[in-house]
């Protein structure tokens, strides 16, 4: 199907409402990005989302848009509480895959002599790869249920971190309303040994340095300075979240038939937000999201422990504090101003992050003057960005922003492109150490597999839905 595209300005493109669409599509992209996107199924997915019942505002796509399951990755859509629907395809399989950023009191030059030891120790202490699990830590069923209900707060209660960490996590690390009884035995079994593990694919643990600062005031509030060592953690709900999504796709296919919802794509299977099926999915999804928050909290603890051991420094000397933790595969109840009235909406963010502005009640207290941090990882060979949310995002995207660079090559195509290259050795020459469970994962994650995240961030900045604060350069990367 050919999708009609109308240029609004240099960074916005409209898919005009026609046929069975209930609203327009709105894509944030540069001219060069749109040239490539015209050959991508993701545009049709934006159009398809616009046909779903109860959608409020346009079907949105961030500049890291690419083809995904159901919704495009980079897709955002809000649905009315009474007329709208919830769709697992608008959340994704890796529920609450997200990014956490830690800052330190260290400078890059201080750790460079010990960088190899740090990378090796992190690779040992934080399991990575397909099916990775900790040999020294496995939850009991009763403990796992508490993780699903309490999220990062459970980990803090067990001594894995401190209460101050929770202040800088989206929703303070706990999505309310989780019900472990709605999560299958298979999902519980898959998650039990995987808490505190990275997994595979594009997940990573990365030691970085602050390479550039664009907003001195915001950087000061976030505790950033040039040359500073930071650590990013990118992972989600592991096998538990995958299984929850898989289980509920079957439920939602039946629900769509039951409620007479016409689907342009079976992957958009959904249920009315007022239905028991929707209630059950959101309660199970909240449990998986809480598992992901706890997962990143546990990894944070082992990162801190590793730095202390290798560098022989105290926690007070290191001050590896959480800047922020943001989820980018989630559906959440939020209040938004629409046509001058506050409305309760279920906002789906699929490969997209929350980007709330200064003064918003959900923005952490100490960030009220600058806005919520937005963490935009790039690729392991270039850079990542820290941004903050804006009033423009609240007005135009339901307080949403991009979540990364966005793939331009499939994993198969990336591996084909990497043939004949020793990617690990090439990155080492750039001063970037790679530790990975297998070379195949490294090949899948080559820089050429992704858009240049600088281009993505530039669209966000120019469109006014986010503001640049700093750029981070990789020093050592732990991959699945």
Residues 465-480 pLDDT 10s: 999 999 999 999 998 7
Residue 267, classed as helix, strand or coil, is: helix
Interatomic CA distance for residues 224 and 213, integer angstroms: 8
* Cβ contacts of 29-38, under 8 Å, gap ≥ 24: 29/61, 29/63, 29/65, 29/459, 30/63, 30/455, 30/458, 30/459, 32/455, 33/63, 33/451, 33/455, 33/459, 34/5, 36/408, 37/65, 38/5
Residues with Cβ within 8 Å of residue 257, at least 6 apart in sequence:
none
Q: If pLDDT is split at 50, 70 and 90, which confidence band does 134 have? A: low
Contact indicator for 331, 86 with CB cutoff of 8 Å: yes
Interatomic CA distance for residues 55 and 168, integer angstroms: 31
Beta bridge partners of 77: 348
Which has more pLDDT, 246 or 450? Answer: 246
Helix H or strand E encompassing 272: strand 271-272
Residue 127: per-residue pLDDT: 80
Contact indicator for 299, 205 with CB cutoff of 8 Å: yes
The per-residue DSSP string of 170-190 comes to GGGG--TT--GGGS-HHHHHH
Residues with Cβ within 8 Å of residue 32, at least 6 apart in sequence:
455
Q: If pLDDT is split at 50, 70 and 90, which confidence band does 316 have? A: very high
Q: If pLDDT is split at 50, 70 and 90, which confidence band does 253 have? A: very high
Residues in the chain: 480
Q: Which of 297, 357, 299, 293 is nearest to 329 (CA)?
A: 293
Q: Which of 368, 389, 380 is nearest to 326 (CA)?
A: 389
Residue 228: per-residue pLDDT: 98
Per residue in 160-213, pLDDT (tens digit) is 999 999 999 999 999 999 999 999 999 999 999 899 999 888 899 999 999 999
Per residue in 105-114, pLDDT (tens digit) is 999 999 999 9
Residue 162 CB neighbours (<10 A)? 12
Q: Based on the residue annotation, tell me whether 403 is a catalytic residue of this protein.
A: yes
Per residue in 43-95, pLDDT (tens digit) is 999 999 999 999 999 999 999 999 999 999 999 999 999 999 999 999 999 99
Residue 167: per-residue pLDDT: 97
Q: If pLDDT is split at 50, 70 and 90, which confidence band does 364 have? A: very high
User: With 70 as the cut, is the pLDDT of residue 419 above it?
Assistant: yes
- Minimum mean pLDDT among 229-233, 318-322, 448-452: which range? 448-452
Q: Which candidate in 168, 234, 360, 403 is catalytic?
A: 403
Place of tokens 């082992």: 302
Residue 130: per-residue pLDDT: 65
* φ, ψ (nearest 5 deg) of residue 368: -55, -35
């Amino acid at each position: 199907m050919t999708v009609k595209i109308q240029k609004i300005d240099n960074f916005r493109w409209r898919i005009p409402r026609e046929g069975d669409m209930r609203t327009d599509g709105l894509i944030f992209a540069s001219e060069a990005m749109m040239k490539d996107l015209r050959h991508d199924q993701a545009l049709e997915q934006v159009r398809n989302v616009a046909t779903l019942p109860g959608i409020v505002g346009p079907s949105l796509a961030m500049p890291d848009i690419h083809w995904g399951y159901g919704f495009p990755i980079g897709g955002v859509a809000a649905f009315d509480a009474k007329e709208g629907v919830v769709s697992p395809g608008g959340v994704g399989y890796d529920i609450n895959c997200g990014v956490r950023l830690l800052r330190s009191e260290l400078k890059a030059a201080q750790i460079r002599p010990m960088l190899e030891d740090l990378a090796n120790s992190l690779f040992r202490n934080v399991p990575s790869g397909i099916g990775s699990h900790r040999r020294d830590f496995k939850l009991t069923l009763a403990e796992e249920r508490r993780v699903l209900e309490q999220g990062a707060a459970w980990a803090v209660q067990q001594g894995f971190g401190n209460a101050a960490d929770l202040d800088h996590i989206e929703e303070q690390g706990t999505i309310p309303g989780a019900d472990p009884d709605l999560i299958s035995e298979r999902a519980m079994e898959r998650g039990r040994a995987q808490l505190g593990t990275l997994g595979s694919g594009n997940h990573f643990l990365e030691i970085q340095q602050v390479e550039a600062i664009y907003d001195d005031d915001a950087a000061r509030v976030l505790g950033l300075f040039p040359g500073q060592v930071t650590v990013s953690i990118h992972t989600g709900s592991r096998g538990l979240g995958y299984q929850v999504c898989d289980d509920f796709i079957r439920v939602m296919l039946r629900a769509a038939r039951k409620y007479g919802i016409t689907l342009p794509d079976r992957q958009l299977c959904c249920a009315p937000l007022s239905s028991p099926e929707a209630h059950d999915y959101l309660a199970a999804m909240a449990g998986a999201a809480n598992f992901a928050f706890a997962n990143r909290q546990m990894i944070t603890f082992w990162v801190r422990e590793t730095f202390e051991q290798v560098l022989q420094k105290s926690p007070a000397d290191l001050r590896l504090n959480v800047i922020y933790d943001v989820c980018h595969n989630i559906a959440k109840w939020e209040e938004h101003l629409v046509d001058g009235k506050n409305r309760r909406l279920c906002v789906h963010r699929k490969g997209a992050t929350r980007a709330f502005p200064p003064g918003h009640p959900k923005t952490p207290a100490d960030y009220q003057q600058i806005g919520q941090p937005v963490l935009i990882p790039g690729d392991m060979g270039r850079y990542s960005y820290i941004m903050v949310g804006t009033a423009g995002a609240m007005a135009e995207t339901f307080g949403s922003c991009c979540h990364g660079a966005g793939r331009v090559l499939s994993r198969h195509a990336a591996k084909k492109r990497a043939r004949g290259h020793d990617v690990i050795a090439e990155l080492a020459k750039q001063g970037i150490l790679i530790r990975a469970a297998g070379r195949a994962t490294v090949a899948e994650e080559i820089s050429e597999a992704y858009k240049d995240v600088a281009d993505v961030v530039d669209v966000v900045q120019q469109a006014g839905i986010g503001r640049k604060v700093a750029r981070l350069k990789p020093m050592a990367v732990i991959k699945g």
